[in-house]
């Protein structure tokens, strides 16, 4: 569909802001995770619907071109702001002025009114969007992905509290956004109760899952492709390795499992405060005497990631908090039941005792009890596997995109009416 045939009221061009991580990065390590997947999947579909997408992200390498095509109709624009490498996420606020300058410069070189809407992801981008929205006279639709106040309420041992600067920065973005996109009703509540977001500006839009890539497949073949033993019971953890995601809970539970041959498969790379001690999981496995039963794989992409989910008897998501938990959905789409902590978005992503099991708290003994029960009962696992596939089918990136289009249309209509009223007020004055 070309932008000329777009239904009325929809944006023709969207400036998407993703300051701290690029949609071109491999998720599962460093700062790249579910937000990157979200931006890629949604941008591709918006472009297919006829909307031009430009994603602005910080340049993190001297060899990156100023612009790169992510997919037809989706351009990534690299903005120079601070050193290419070695800049921690905590130091990015100091580069927001440079980043905003780069974004505004690109828009200024275009005919007036080039972008119709700003979509910002994570609070750093929201800050840039706040200024750009005022300059361009367009609505700002913000997705937080994680919230500092929520994270600080559920801090993992060894994790750093989010600083006051971020808390205040998020409050400002909440106040300035025309619409706030929440992944789940739980996140919507958090925005309203903790950040005082006006109810009418919060829209719940569930993220999706790529059902073509993540689908059930032969477990033994997947294990053979990954070099995993065909008969051992395998519980997988997939994601960025940091205290918030609590992969240590799986290692501790492994040490308490009745099956002495069960294996924990840990897939992903260090991230956040996990970067301070990248070998901590290995040290933990050593100290518990289970090092030979823990397999590590670096971040996996595409079909190999689907194979990881298929190869596992269970996927564990023991996070202290998740705004949604895409990994849980992807595992279920592959027909693998998920054992997840009963926190945040995981309560939506997993249907307790239907597509997996939700566990209260992070005590290794509780996790070992649930894992033991499921690993000993193949019939129950099969039932949950069926429930998992069915549940995952309730989510898709097409649905997410369709809902977002509604949100964009509302934001544009409301923004236009407000501006007309403002103009009328000025004229009377
Ligand atoms: N991921 C990946 N390769 C890996 C590990 C993770 O591509 O080795 C992707 C995974 O498919 C998922 C995302 O990273 O889509 C993680 O999203 P999630 O919502 O689970 O966690 P987040 O990173 O947003 O905290």
Helical ranges in 196-320 per DSSP H: 219-226, 247-256, 280-287, 302-311
ipTM above 0.95, yes or no: yes
Tell me the whole-structure pTM to 2 decimals: 0.96
- pLDDT by residue, tens only, the chain of 429 residues: 455 577 889 999 999 999 999 999 999 989 999 999 999 999 999 999 999 999 999 999 989 999 999 999 999 999 999 999 889 889 999 999 999 999 999 999 999 999 999 999 999 999 999 999 999 999 999 999 999 999 999 888 878 899 999 999 999 999 999 999 999 999 999 999 999 999 999 999 999 999 999 999 999 999 999 999 999 999 999 999 999 999 999 999 999 999 999 999 999 998 877 767 768 999 999 999 999 999 999 999 999 999 999 999 999 999 999 999 999 999 999 999 999 999 999 999 999 999 999 999 999 999 999 999 999 999 999 999 999 999 999 999 999 999 999 999 999 999 999 888 888 886 554
The response to whether 189 counts as a known ligand-binding position is: no
What is the model's pLDDT at position 158?
Answer: 77
How far apart, in whole angstroms, are the C-alpha atoms of residue 248 and residue 319?
10
* Separation of CA 56 and ligand 1 centre (Å): 21
Token pair 């566990």: residue: 359
How far apart, in whole angstroms, are the C-alpha atoms of residue 129 and residue 125?
6
Q: Which atom of ligand 1 is nearest to the CA of 299?
A: 8
Which residues, 6 or more positions from 115, have their beta carbon under 8 angstroms from its beta carbon? Answer: 11, 13, 14, 15, 54, 107, 136, 138
- How many CB atoms sit inside 10 A of residue 93's CB? 16
* Separation of CA 34 and ligand 1 centre (Å): 5
Helix (H, G, I), strand (E, B) or coil at 277: coil
Token pair 């823990």: residue: 294
DSSP letter assigned to residue 50? T
From the list 106, 117, 120, the residue with the least C-alpha distance to 6 is 117
Q: How far apart, in Å, are the Cα atoms of 256 and each of 290, 365, 372? A: 10, 7, 9
Does ligand 1 come within 6 angstroms of the Cβ of 269? no
How far apart, in whole angstroms, are the C-alpha atoms of residue 318 and residue 250?
7
Does ligand 1 come within 6 angstroms of the Cβ of 208? no
How far apart, in whole angstroms, are the C-alpha atoms of residue 236 and residue 253?
12
Does ligand 1 come within 6 angstroms of the Cβ of 81? no
Q: Which atom of ligand 1 is nearest to the CA of 298?
A: 8
Phi, psi of 64 (to 5 degrees): -80, 135
- How many CB atoms sit inside 10 A of residue 112's CB? 8
Q: How far apart, in Å, are the Cα atoms of 196 and each of 169, 181, 220, 336? A: 14, 14, 50, 38
Does ligand 1 come within 6 angstroms of the Cβ of 19? no
Which residues, 6 or more positions from 298, have their beta carbon under 8 angstroms from its beta carbon? Answer: 29, 267, 268, 269
Helical ranges in 60-121 per DSSP H: 96-108
Mutational pocket test of ligand 1: of 18, 26, 31, 33, the residue with most ligand atoms within 8 Å of the beta carbon: 33
Does ligand 1 come within 6 angstroms of the Cβ of 32? no
What is the model's pLDDT at position 2?
Answer: 52
Does ligand 1 come within 6 angstroms of the Cβ of 326? yes
Mutational pocket test of ligand 1: of 24, 29, 32, 34, the residue with most ligand atoms within 8 Å of the beta carbon: 34
The response to whether 89 counts as a known ligand-binding position is: yes
* Separation of CA 270 and ligand 1 centre (Å): 12
Does ligand 1 come within 6 angstroms of the Cβ of 239? yes
* Separation of CA 49 and ligand 1 centre (Å): 26
What is the model's pLDDT at position 160?
Answer: 87
What is the model's pLDDT at position 272?
Answer: 78
What is the distance in angstroms between the CA of the first residue and the CA of the last residue of the chain? 44
* Separation of CA 224 and ligand 1 centre (Å): 23
What is the model's pLDDT at position 155?
Answer: 87
The residues pairing with 14 across neighbouring beta strands, listed in sequence order, are 53, 117
Mutational pocket test of ligand 1: of 21, 237, 238, the residue with most ligand atoms within 8 Å of the beta carbon: 238
What is the model's pLDDT at position 67?
Answer: 97
How far apart, in whole angstroms, are the C-alpha atoms of residue 192 and residue 411?
18
Does ligand 1 come within 6 angstroms of the Cβ of 207? no
* Separation of CA 5 and ligand 1 centre (Å): 35
Q: Which atom of ligand 1 is nearest to the CA of 308?
A: 8
């Amino acid at each position: 569909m070309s932008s000329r045939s777009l239904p009325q009221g929809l944006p023709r061009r969207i400036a998407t802001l993703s300051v701290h991580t690029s949609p071109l990065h491999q998720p599962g390590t460093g700062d790249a995770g579910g937000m990157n997947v979200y931006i890629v999947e949604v941008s591709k579909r918006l472009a297919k619907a006829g909307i031009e997408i430009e994603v602005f992200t910080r340049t993190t390498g001297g060899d990156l071109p100023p612009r790169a095509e992510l997919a037809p109709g989706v351009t990534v624009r690299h903005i120079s702001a601070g050193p290419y490498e070695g800049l921690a996420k905590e130091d990015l606020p100091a580069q927001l002025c440079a980043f905003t300058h780069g974004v505004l410069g690109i828009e200024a070189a275009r005919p007036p009114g080039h972008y119709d809407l700003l979509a910002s992801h994570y609070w750093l981008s929201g800050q840039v969007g706040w200024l750009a929205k005022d300059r361009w006279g367009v609505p700002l639709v913000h997705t937080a992905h994680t919230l500092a106040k929520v994270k600080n309420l559920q801090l993992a041992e060894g994790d750093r509290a989010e600083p006051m600067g971020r808390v205040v920065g998020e409050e400002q973005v909440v106040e300035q956004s025309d619409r706030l996109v929440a992944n789940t009703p739980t996140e919507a509540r958090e925005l309203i109760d903790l950040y005082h977001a006006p109810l009418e500006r919060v829209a719940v839009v569930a993220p999706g899952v790529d059902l073509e890539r993540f689908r059930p497949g032969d477990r033994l073949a997947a294990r053979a492709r990954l070099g995993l033993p065909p008969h051992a019971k395998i519980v997988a953890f997939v994601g960025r390795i940091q205290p918030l995601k609590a992969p240590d809970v799986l290692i501790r539970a492994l040490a308490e499992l009745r099956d002495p041959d069960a294996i924990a498969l840990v897939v992903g790379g260090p991230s956040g405060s996990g970067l301070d001690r990248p070998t901590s999981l290995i040290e933990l496995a050593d100290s518990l005497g289970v090092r030979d039963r823990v397999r590590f794989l670096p971040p996996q992409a595409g079909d190999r990631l689907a194979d990881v989910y298929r190869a596992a008897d269970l996927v564990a998501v023991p996070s202290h908090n998740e705004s949604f938990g895409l990994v849980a959905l992807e595992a279920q789409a592959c027909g693998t039941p998920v054992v997840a902590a009963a926190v945040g978005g995981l309560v939506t992503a997993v249907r307790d005792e239907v597509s997996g099991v939700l566990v209260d708290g992070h005590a290794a003994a509780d996790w070992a009890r649930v894992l033991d029960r499921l690993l000993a009962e193949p019939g129950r696992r099969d039932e949950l596997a069926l429930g998992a596939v069915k549940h995952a089918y309730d989510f898709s990136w097409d649905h997410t995109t369709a809902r977002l289009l509604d949100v964009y249309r509302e934001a544009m209509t409301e923004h236009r009416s407000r501006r007309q009223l403002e103009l009328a007020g000025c004229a009377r004055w």
